[in-house]
Amino acid sequence: MIVVMQNGASEAQIQSVIDRMVRMNFTVHRSTGVMHTVLGGIGPEDDIDPVDFEVLEGVKEAHRIASAYKLASRPFRPGGTVVQIGNVQIGGPNVVAMAGPCSVESEEQINLSAELVAGAGAKVIRGGAFKPRSSPYSFQGLGEKGLQLLRQAADRHGLLAISEVMDQTQIPLLAEYADILQVGARNMQNFNLLKELAKLRKPVLLKRGIAATVEELLLSAEYILSGGNYDVILCERGIRTFETSTRNTMDISAIPVTKKLSHLPIIADPSHGTGRRDHVLPMARAAVAAGADGLLVEVHHDPDRALSDGAQSLRPEQFSELMQQLRIIATAVGRTV
Ligand code: PEP
Ligand code: MN
């Protein structure tokens, strides 16, 4: 149930509606917008007539939420969510670039990466320390050492840091070193992990699973939101289809679809989306033109020697070119980079 309070409703009126909802066995999540406070009630909405709320003092309107996900749905925050981390906003007018190597490999590599991505205009450095590899014989990441190196490189160059958390036992470690915890495509429906991340008060980047619908992505986000962590950023990173000419099929349409259904910011990962560096630029342009709030891009100072995902990693000069092109595309759609 969504209860939208009138513009200027008093705190006492809001509290009285919350009390009423709690008495009716709803768990209440409050969202304070520029104009209206919205109360999202999770509970027995099928048994209750929205009119029961509409007649209360200070209420503008009340309605049931038709979708299976409630707190992730657009009506909960019609104006959209802006995830604020330091002075970086994700979901605001600025298109935020998160870039760096697939994996943290060494101190030299991650420092060079931070220098070059910061120089080109990225706000966040990426780098996996725990890697979900299809083969157990592939490089698995440097673990905590990798996180330490990532943090140092980020701080040295004034960047935020994002890294993947593979299971719930790693959450404290990731929370210590990273500003954003990434849930990889393979873990989008690891519900135990999502429930633990719901208790955290740090932003989570939730990647779409390789065979997940947009609705399933939003239901996974709902696991995190319903535990009280509202700082969720979605990521389209390509899905598996019958097409074999790219590593995955980058579903650009998921961006406007998700924007309509949900208030959460959504970014795009054209690196995993295509699997080839020569396709990354066009898909990055397309994603920003389609309304993406940011990009997650793999960049390596020497991709031919990368320990993971070298073929899809941009060379430094290609990343600079991407950022220059993005400035033009972003301006065309009323955004900035
Ligand atoms: C990654 O970002 O390095 C990664 C493993 O991504 P995904 O989960 O989308 O495959
Ligand atoms: Mn990768």
Looking at the structure, do residues 23 and 146 belong to the same domain, yes or no? no
Looking at the structure, do residues 119 and 163 belong to the same domain, yes or no? yes
User: Do residues 44 and 25 make contact, with C-beta atoms less than 8 angstroms apart?
Assistant: yes
The pLDDT of residue 180 is 98
In a domain, 74, yes or no: no
What whole-number distance in Å separates Cα of residue 173 and Cα of residue 209? Answer: 24
Looking at the structure, do residues 133 and 235 belong to the same domain, yes or no? yes
Of 103, 183, 272, 312, the one to substitute when testing ligand 1's pocket (max ligand atoms within 8 A of C-beta) is 272
* Helix H or strand E segment including 258: helix 254-261
Phi, psi at residue 283, to the nearest 5°? -75, -30
The pLDDT of residue 299 is 98
Looking at the structure, do residues 185 and 98 belong to the same domain, yes or no? yes
Looking at the structure, do residues 17 and 99 belong to the same domain, yes or no? no
Q: Which domain does 42 fall in, by range? A: 2-66
Which ligand 1 atom is the nearest neighbour of the CA of 235? 9
Of 133, 150, 182, the one to substitute when testing ligand 1's pocket (max ligand atoms within 8 A of C-beta) is 182
Q: Could you tell me the pTM of the whole model?
A: 0.97
In a domain, 78, yes or no: no
In a domain, 325, yes or no: yes
Q: Give the CATH number for residue 21.
A: 3.30.70.1140
Which ligand 1 atom is the nearest neighbour of the CA of 296? 2
User: Do residues 4 and 41 make contact, with C-beta atoms less than 8 angstroms apart?
Assistant: no
| Domain count across the chain | 2
The full DSSP string for 167-207 is SGGGHHHHHHH-SEEEEPGGGTT-HHHHHHHTT--S-EEEE
- Reduced to 3 states (helix: H, G, I; strand: E, B; else coil), residue 231 is coil
The pLDDT of residue 34 is 86
Q: How far is the CA of 203 from the centre of ligand 1 (A)?
A: 17
- Kindly state the percentage of the chain with pLDDT values over 70: 100
For ligand 1, residues with CB inside 6 Å are 102, 128, 132, 184-186, 207, 237, 269, 272
Looking at the structure, do residues 199 and 89 belong to the same domain, yes or no? yes
Domain boundary among 41, 66, 91: 66
The pLDDT of residue 217 is 98
In a domain, 12, yes or no: yes
Tell me which ligand sits closest to the C-alpha of residue 187: 1
Looking at the structure, do residues 57 and 112 belong to the same domain, yes or no? no
The pLDDT of residue 129 is 98
Looking at the structure, do residues 56 and 96 belong to the same domain, yes or no? no
In a domain, 166, yes or no: yes
The pLDDT of residue 335 is 98
In a domain, 73, yes or no: no
Looking at the structure, do residues 266 and 152 belong to the same domain, yes or no? yes
Beta-bridged to residue 256, according to DSSP, are none
Looking at the structure, do residues 21 and 119 belong to the same domain, yes or no? no
Looking at the structure, do residues 120 and 235 belong to the same domain, yes or no? yes
Q: Give the CATH number for residue 94.
A: 3.20.20.70
Ligand 1, atom 6: closest residue by C-alpha: 184
In a domain, 238, yes or no: yes
What whole-number distance in Å separates Cα of residue 262 and Cα of residue 258? Answer: 6
Tell me which ligand sits closest to the C-alpha of residue 180: 1
Q: How far is the CA of 251 from the centre of ligand 1 (A)?
A: 16
Looking at the structure, do residues 62 and 92 belong to the same domain, yes or no? no
Q: How far is the CA of 126 from the centre of ligand 2 (A)?
A: 10
In a domain, 280, yes or no: yes
Model pLDDT for residues 240-255, shown as the tens digit of each residue: 999 999 999 999 999 9
The pLDDT of residue 86 is 96
Residues of the chain with pLDDT under 70: none
Domain boundary among 19, 37, 66: 66
